[in-house]
Amino acid sequence: GEQVEQRPPHLSVREGDSAVITCTYTDPNSYYFFWYKQEPGASLQLLMKVFSSTEINEGQGFTVLLNKKDKRLSLNLTAAHPGDSAAYFCAVSAAGYQNFYFGKGTSLTVIP
Amino acid sequence: GALVYQYPRRTICKSGTSMRMECQAVGFQATSVAWYRQSPQKTFELIALSTVNSAIKYEQNFTQEKFPISHPNLSFSSMTVLNAYLEDRGLYLCGATTGRDTEVFFGKGTRLTVV
């Protein structure tokens, strides 16, 4: 089945710096790509859903890049602030959402 | 809007006992419901995917004998953790979708503590 590798497992940046989290996947049939944020003790909050046809997606304070050739998905927080401190998970799904595969997560700490 | 509610939000059970958790979809038809577990300090593992009118598909390392699932209609699913032990503790999440390539909606999870 699909294998999703997420790096780094832990990331610490200063407020205002950028933070980049990367996932690689193995299934060429993967079609939907997701980034979730999980604050301590809470469930998943969807940050962005990316379709396979779109390579660059901009959200509120972050950019998601999809490179289908390299099977790589990245989340770039452009100017991190302490409220961004949380765990971030990527997830990958084939068409039809038959299965969701999560990365192992990245614990991000933003130092004021 | 589409919402998914999970009950209970937190629960504690004694080692060797069983615990049932529920997932309720509101505002859409939950054709498919996936159950996940997030063990402490780990990612979300898919336990099983249930689709109405189809057999429930369990992932490797998870069995129907340990995690029986019911998905009787398009708005409700439940899962029981039988004979819970320490390694079963964690956050159990259900994700529901209409199955027509729309968004997956997640509940807030049921946090299971085993003592």
**Cβ A42–B43 below 8 Å, yes or no?**
no
Which tens digits make up the pLDDT trace of B25-34? 999 999 989 9
From chain A, the residues in CB contact with B95 under 8 A are 100
Q: What does the pLDDT read at residue B102?
A: 61
Q: Which residues of A touch B101 (CB under 8 A)?
A: 95-97
The predicted-structure confidence for A52-63, as pLDDT tens digits, reads as follows: 666 777 778 889
Considering only A18-32, A65-79, B92-106, which range has the smallest mean pLDDT?
Answer: B92-106
Contact B34 A100 (CB under 8 A): yes
Task: With CB atoms and an 8 Å threshold, state whether A102 touches B43.
Answer: yes
Q: What is the pLDDT of residue B115?
A: 95
Q: Which residues of A touch B104 (CB under 8 A)?
A: 93, 97, 100
Q: Which residue has the higher pLDDT, B89 or B103?
A: B89
**Looking at this protein, which amino acid is placed at residue B44?**
F
Number of A:B CB contacts under 8 A?
45
- Neighbour-count burial of A74, counting CB atoms closer than 10 A to its CB (0-12 exposed, 13-18 middle, 19+ buried): middle
Mean pLDDT of A52-79: 85
Backbone angles phi, psi at B88, to 5 degrees: -90, -5
pLDDT exceeds 70 at position A3: yes
Q: Is A10 exposed, middle or buried (0-12, 13-18, 19+ CB in 10 A)?
A: exposed
Nearest chain A residue to B48 by CA distance is A99
pLDDT value of position B47: 93
Q: What is the pLDDT of residues A10-48, one digit of tens each?
A: 999 999 999 999 999 998 888 788 999 988 877 788 888
- Per CB-CB distance under 8 Å, the chain B contacts of A100 are 34, 36, 46, 95, 104
CA distances from A27 to A67, A70, A72 (A): 13, 11, 11
Separation CA B4–CA B68 (nearest Å):
20
- The residue of chain A with its CA nearest to that of B93 is A43
